Structure formats: structure tokens, C-alpha cells
Amino acid sequence: MLTPDGNEIHGTADEAMAKRLKEYLFEPVDVTLSGVGKWAREASRWTLLEFWVTDVQEVDFSGVEDYLQRIQGSGTGWDDFDDPVAELLAMRHVE
């Protein structure tokens, strides 16, 4: 398995899960894997040692562009203020 940042992770799955995973083998499909991991910590850095796959879901990107356009078009409301920084500081009780 490859993580989004390009790291390779080795995992284990039972036969039933392996059969579900085989449809994604060699396919350019993004999936989310759930499972149980065994981690090691060394000098504040965590390393995944083992991963037992318990579920797989195909990532559904349909509608993402429409969703982002709706969010971007809705605005944040900060444009309604003459001085948004002063308003934020007032909300935080900072003078």
C-alpha cells in the first residue's frame, strides 16, 4: 500500500478481505483502508510496524468540485466588517 505522501506500508488481511481488495490491485483507484495497527515511537516519531486490514472503501470524489464551489461562493462573512481583524480581537476580548 502507498500512503498519500508516497510511503509504502505493508498490511495483512484475512482471505475474505483479500478477495475484496483484489479488485483494486493494479487499478488507479483511491481507497480508504481501516484496521488495527501496531506502532513504535522513537524520539517523538511514530512508525507503523504492522497493519491488519479490516475494511476497505473506495474514495468517492464525485461532487467534490461542486461542493468546493458552493463553499467558496458562500463567503465567510468577514467581508461584512470594515476591520475584520479588530472584530476578531474584540470577539476574543483582546484590546
Q: Which of 62, 67, 61 is nearest to 30 (CA)?
A: 61
Whether 3 maps to a domain, the answer reads: no
The whole-chain average pLDDT of the chain stands at 87
Whether 42 maps to a domain, the answer reads: yes
Domain count for the chain = 1
* Segments forming the whole domain that contains residue 48: 15-91
The whole-angstrom separation of Cα 8 and Cα 37 is 14
- Name the more confident of 74 and 58: 58
Q: Which residues are registered as beta bridge partners of 33?
A: 56
The whole-angstrom separation of Cα 38 and Cα 72 is 40
Whether 83 maps to a domain, the answer reads: yes
Q: Which residues are registered as beta bridge partners of 55?
A: 34
Whether 10 maps to a domain, the answer reads: no
The whole-angstrom separation of Cα 92 and Cα 8 is 44
Q: Which of 53, 57, 54, 48 is nearest to 9 (CA)?
A: 48
The whole-angstrom separation of Cα 29 and Cα 42 is 33
pLDDT confidence of residue 95: 62
pTM here? 0.58
Question: What tens digit of pLDDT does each residue of 2-24 get?
Answer: 777 788 888 999 999 999 999 99
